[in-house]
Amino acid sequence: MIYTVTFNPAIDYVVRTDGPFVPGQVNRSAQEDYQFGGKGINVSLMLARLDCPSVALGFVAGATGSWLEQGLQAQGLHSDWIHLPGGMTRINVKIKAQTESELNGRGPDITPEAMEQLYAKLDALREGDILVLAGSLPGGLPSNTYRRILDRLAGRGIRAAVDTAGEALAAVLPARPFLIKPNHCELTALAGRPLTTQTEIEAAARDLQQQGARNVLVSMAGDGALLVDETGAVHRMGCPQGRVVNSVGAGDSMLAGFLAGWLQSGDYACALRLGTACGSATAFSLGLADRAGIDRLLRTLQHDA
């Protein structure tokens, strides 16, 4: 079973305008929508579209938390939320005009008692399960929180996939996660130097592997993706043709596709191919991609492009 953890889920309020967004003035929307999200939630939703079951774990609070919980339940998502005593699940405002702007909410505080409830749920995981830790950590939690979770699960045969950035990502490397998925910008920040060529990106990915990560999957937007797998092999996949209309959830879709592909085939090249198809299909869609869009792109992709 795959378990995803979203520490700070959100309701994304998406507003589209016909013209440019002008700060300091009244702007009117041409179209509005809302999406229940958070990186771990996005992974679980995409896994469901790939017929790969998962359980979404995390924290919700207040009336917005109830809305999110009910909305995801209506979509058939299997979840097991921890209800926080105060605050409210955050709302993120996404403005899509000539450029994209975002205003992300802070989210509720996670109490020590709530963290103990999460640990109890994670203690029930079994050998062979996959744990996805995705997204930034909310304020009030230390940057080594993901590392503490991996240390707690060490030696139990549980594979961890971590999609975060900065100190939180650097902290988990010695715990030897099964997979990390930095994007190009996150990899550059960790490397502390510009990464402008495929050779430089590969070298930086290998550096993270030497620090402990078993597999390093780097998403590079329009330049596709690169994977350095635990055997030392390097796999590259170009990006299929299409018009990008949405950046929200593309990386999460890639992660979900990669995990589903690996579970189905046991082959890293196949996993990268499905991951790229999922990530690109979401980038070409207004929300998370549907199965038809994924399958259509999958037929156009070749291994090691």
Q: Which amino acid is at 72?
A: L
| CA 113 to centroid of chain Cα atoms | 26
- Burial annotation 206-227 (CB, 10 A radius, 16+ → b, else e): ebbbeeebbbbbbbbbeebbbb
- Residue 288 φ then ψ, to 5°: -65, 140
pLDDT tens digits, one per residue of 207-254: 999 999 999 999 988 788 999 999 999 999 988 888 888 777 899 999
Alpha helix locations (H) across 1-132?
39-49, 62-74, 112-122
How high is the pLDDT of residue 94?
87
C-alpha 217/C-alpha 158 separation (Å) is: 19
Looking at this protein, which amino acid is placed at residue 273?
R
Closest CA to 225 of 277, 161, 282: 277
Q: What is the pLDDT of residue 304?
A: 45
Tokens standing for residue 271: 């996993």
Q: Helix, strand or coil for residue 75?
A: coil
Q: What is the structure's pLDDT at 225?
A: 93
- Predicted TM-score (pTM) of the model is 0.91
Just list the catalytic residues: 252
How would you write the pLDDT of the chain (305 residues) with one tens digit per residue?
Answer: 999 999 999 999 989 899 899 889 999 999 998 889 899 999 999 999 999 999 999 999 999 999 999 999 999 899 999 999 999 999 999 898 888 888 989 999 999 999 999 999 999 999 999 999 998 888 789 999 999 999 999 999 999 999 999 999 999 999 999 999 999 999 999 899 989 888 999 999 999 999 999 999 999 887 889 999 999 999 999 888 888 887 778 999 999 999 999 999 999 999 999 999 999 999 999 889 999 999 999 998 865 44
Beta strands 179-180; 225-228: pairing state: unpaired
Rounded Cα–Cα distance for residues 214 and 203 (Å):
15
CA angle centred on 205, ends 127 and 244, rounded to 5°? 95
All structural domains of the chain = 2-6+37-59+78-87+113-298 (3.40.1190.20)
Helix (H, G, I), strand (E, B) or coil at 109: coil
Kindly report each contact of residues 206-210 with a partner whose C-beta sits within 8 Å and lies 24 or more positions away, as own/partner: 208/173, 208/180, 208/182
| Average confidence score pLDDT of the chain | 93
Per-residue pLDDT at 302: 67
Q: How far are the Cα atoms of 126, 214, 254 from residue 156, in angstroms, in the given order? A: 7, 16, 26
Which residues are 163's β-sheet partners? 134
